[in-house]
Amino acid sequence: MSSTHKTMGLFARFLTLWVLISIVLGIGFGAVFPSLFQMLGGMEIVHINLPVALLVWAMIFPMLLNIDYAELHEVWHHRRGIAVTLAINWLVKPFSMALLGWVFLQYLFAPWLDVEKIPEYMAGLILLAAAPCTAMVFVWSGLVNGHPQFTLSQVALNDVIMIFAFAPIVALLLGVASIMVPWDTLLLSVVFYIVLPVTLAYAVRRVLVAKGYLNEVLQIMQPCSMGALLATVILLFGFQGEQILAQPLVILLLAIPILIQVYFNAALAYGLNRQLGVAHCVAGPSALIGASNFFELAVATAIALFGLQSGAALAVVVGVLVEVPVMLSVVAMVNRSKAWYERGII
C-alpha cells in the first residue's frame, strides 16, 4: 500500500478525532490571537471570506477532477434522486426549520434567551435553511463515494432555482413584503464555487487524461484536500472563538434546532431514496445536499436585513460552526448504513 493510501486510511479512521482537535484548536487560537483572526476574517469580498474560499477550492478541486463530464447525460437515469433532493431543499427544509425554530426558541428555550432577540434568531435559522449548499457538497459527496455527475447536476440545478425561489420563501416565512437579496454574494458565489472551478477542472482533466497522469495527480491532491478540510474547521471556529467563550449557552441553544434540522432532512431524503429504489451512490449525496446550507448567502442576507451584531447574524454563524462536524457525522452514517440501504432497494 502506498504512503498516500496509508495516510488517507489513518485520516478516515480517526476523522472524528481530527475534527474535534481542530475545533478545540480553532476556539483556542481565536481566543488567544483575536487580532490575527480578525484580520483573516476581514479578508473578504461581498461576504465571501477569501482564506476560507481558497481552502474550499483545495477541498473540492479533486472531486471536480473526478467528474467525467462526457457522461453528464447519464444523470437523467437518476431523476428520482433529483426529485427527492429538490423536494427536501425547497418544499421541506425551510418550513421544517421555521417550525423547529418556533417550537424551541419561542417556547422551550424562551426562558434562557433575550426575548427581544428571539425574532432575530428565528430569522437567522430560516435564512440558513432557505438556501442549499453550493460548494462543500462536493466534499461530502466524495466522502460517501457519491455519483459525481449527479452531485454536479444537482448543485447547478439548485443554484438556478435559488435565484428565483430564495427571496419569496424567506419573505413568506419572515412575514415581510420583500427581501433584500445580496445578489452580489449569490452570483459571485456561483461563479467562484461552480463556474470557475468546474471550467478549470474540465480543462485540467482533459490534459491529465491525455497524458495518463490523472490517477497520480488525484492521489497527490487527496491528502491536501483533507488537510484543507481541517484547516477550514480551525478557521471557522477561530473567527468566532471569543464569541463562543462569551455566550456558550446561547450558541448551544441555537445549535439544537439546527442539528435536529440537519439530521431530519438527511434521514428523510435518504429514506425516500431507498423507498424509490435509488442507488446508494445517488442517495448519499442526495441526503447530504438536502441537509447542508449555503452559509455565505445566509450570512450576507442576515447582515443586510438585521445588521452585523444582530441575533440573526449570530444564529447564522452558529449554523456555520456546526456545518462541518455535523455533516461529517452524516457522512459517517451514510457510509455505515450502505449494506442496510442496499438490502432494502425495491
Please enumerate in sequence order all residues whose Cβ is within 8 A of that of 257, keeping only pairs 6 or more positions apart, or say none.
97, 100, 101, 103, 104, 105, 125
What is the average per-residue pLDDT within 142-166? 90
Q: Looking only at Cα atoms, what is the longest distance across the chain?
A: 64
Reduced DSSP (H G I as helix, E B as strand, rest coil) percent helix, strand, coil of the chain, to 5 = 85, 0, 15
Taking alpha carbons only, the member of 285, 301, 56 closest to residue 148 is: 285
The CB density around residue 174, as the number of other CB atoms within 10 Å, is 18
What is the average per-residue pLDDT within 65-92? 87
The grid cell for 134 is: 453550493
Please enumerate in sequence order all residues whose Cβ is within 8 A of that of 286, keeping only pairs 6 or more positions apart, or say none.
81, 82, 84, 85, 88, 150, 154, 269, 270, 273, 278
Length of the chain: 346
The domains located in the chain, with CATH, are: 3-343 (1.20.1530.20)
Question: Is there a contact between 113 and 192 (Cβ–Cβ < 8 Å)?
Answer: no
Question: At 66, is the pLDDT very low, low, confident or very high (cuts 50, 70, 90)?
Answer: confident
Q: For the chain, how big is the Rg over CA atoms in Å?
A: 20
Mean of all residue pLDDT scores within the chain: 88
pLDDT of residue 296: 82
The CB density around residue 118, as the number of other CB atoms within 10 Å, is 17
- Tens of pLDDT along 20-29? 899 999 999 9
Please enumerate in sequence order all residues whose Cβ is within 8 A of that of 161, keeping only pairs 6 or more positions apart, or say none.
86, 89, 90
Question: At 340, is the pLDDT very low, low, confident or very high (cuts 50, 70, 90)?
Answer: very high
Question: At 6, is the pLDDT very low, low, confident or very high (cuts 50, 70, 90)?
Answer: very low
pLDDT of residue 266: 96
What is the average per-residue pLDDT within 312-327? 90
Residue 5 has pLDDT above 80, yes or no: no
Tell me the pTM: 0.88
Please enumerate in sequence order all residues whose Cβ is within 8 A of that of 234, keeping only pairs 6 or more positions apart, or say none.
22, 25, 26, 29
The grid cell for 214 is: 490523472
Residue 336 has pLDDT above 90, yes or no: yes
Determine what percent of the chain is predicted with pLDDT higher than 70: 94
Burial of 70 per CB tally in 10 Å (0-12, 13-18, 19+): exposed
**Would you give the DSSP letter of residue 47?**
T
- Tens of pLDDT along 38-58? 999 889 888 888 999 899 899
